[in-house]
Amino acid sequence: MNKTELIDAVAKSADISKAAAGRALDGMIVAVRQSLKKGNMVTLVGFGTFFVGKRAARAGRNPRTGVAIKIKAAKVPKFRAGKALKDALN
């Protein structure tokens, strides 16, 4: 499912216009991004939790040349599914 299909599904489910659903989805994405940027977790009970993980610095290789390179440490967004979401899939 891509963003357009998700907007269509939200509009139909919530009985709102596609434009309103699009604005709501964009607003949610911005809010989650800003919260994660501040280092906060975003928990949607029954769905899951978005949080910031840390990836350590490591050695890697350039796939074209095979030359060893250093990959910097980074903060990465992560998602942990909630129990209700897991149960819905099984």
Per-residue HEC secondary structure of the chain comes to: CCHHHHHHHHHHHHCCCHHHHHHHHHHHHHHHHHHHHCCCCEEECCCEEEEEEEECCEEEECCCCCCEEEECCEEEEEEEECHHHHHHHC
pLDDT of residue 13: 95
Q: Are 9 and 49 members of one domain?
A: no
pLDDT of residue 31: 97
Confidence class for position 87, pLDDT limits 50, 70, 90: very high
**Residue ranges making up the domain that contains 29:** 1-40
* Number of structural domains found in the chain: 2
Q: Are 20 and 10 members of one domain?
A: yes
pTM above 0.85, yes or no: no
Q: Are 89 and 49 members of one domain?
A: yes
Instruction: Report the chain's mean pLDDT, rounded to a whole number.
Output: 96
Confidence class for position 49, pLDDT limits 50, 70, 90: very high
Q: Are 33 and 45 members of one domain?
A: no
Cβ proximity of 34 and 52 under 8 Å: no
Average pLDDT for 37-55: 96
Average pLDDT for 43-53: 96
Q: Are 47 and 33 members of one domain?
A: no
Amino acid at 18: K
